[in-house]
A and B are shown apart, each in its own frame.
Chain A
Amino acid sequence: NAGVTQTPKFQVLKTGQSMTLQCAQDMNHEYMSWYRQDPGMGLRLIHYSVGAGITDQGEVPNGYNVSRSTTEDFPLRLLSAAPSQTSVYFCASSYGGKETQYFGPGTRLLVL
């Protein structure tokens, strides 16, 4: 198993550009989520999904969109990047009803 994979590893954007951060898992997990990690603030939940076709907002959803068309994939879209979105983004997944979340290696995003 590859576990949770994320692409790209690093990305530089200009303000106003759009991009999609990819996340995939091969563990047949129902739950998937996106976090951002900022210095001194730990991880904050952006969006999460409890299954294909179902998504919900987390603590800091503004400026981000998600969709879940398959169990395996959970992309995060930035429609118009802003410097405040400079961060490290982690995708995570877990079994339904169980609590251990498995994290991807992260995507480092720099918005100029």
Chain B
Amino acid sequence: GDSVTQMEGPVTLSEEAFLTINCTYTATGYPSLFWYVQYPGEGLQLLLKATKADDKGSNKGFEATYRKETTSFHLEKGSVQVSDSAVYFCALNPISGSARQLTFGSGTQLTVLP
């Protein structure tokens, strides 16, 4: 079945450091890929998404590129801030255009120190 594998956390960085959170997936067909972020005490929010191969999603300085050849969707940010401290979830939707069946990774806790 479909699955998403994220790098294990927790990840601790200093402010202005470069961030990479790895995400790889297994799916049949052509899934859509997502990064969701969960700030402390809140629900998940969509951070960015990509719906086809080679698409780059970007938001708030975060970027991720849909790489079909490596089945990856790694999240990157050039300079993290304390306010980026949160849990980040990679997810896929195996049926592009449908909201029914999101499959999530286990989440990566990021802590950014001042």
Contact = CB atoms under 8 A, between A and B. Distances in A.
Interface of A: 4, 31, 33, 35, 40-45, 48, 50, 58, 90, 92, 94-101, 103-106
B89 A104 contact: no
A99 B97 contact: yes
A40 B106 contact: yes
B99 A101 contact: yes
Interface string B27-38: 000001010100
A41 B51 CA distance: 24
Nearest to B105: A42
B99 A104 contact: no
Contact of B99 (A4, A31, A35, A44): A31
Given A95-B99, A99-B98, A42 B106 contact: yes
Contact of A43 (B49, B89, B100): B89
Interface of B: 4, 32, 34, 36, 41-46, 49, 51, 89, 93, 96-102, 104-107
A43 B43 contact: no
Contact of B44 (A40, A94, A103): A103
B46 A97 contact: no
Given A43-B89, A45-B102, A100-B49, A105 B41 contact: yes
Contact of A105 (B42, B46, B106, B107): B42
Contact of B32 (A31, A40, A99, A105): A99
A106 B97 contact: no
B43 A31 contact: no
16 contacts: A4-B43, A31-B100, A41-B106, A42-B4, A42-B89, A43-B89, A48-B100, A50-B100, A90-B43, A90-B44, A94-B99, A99-B51, A101-B44, A103-B45, A105-B41, A106-B42
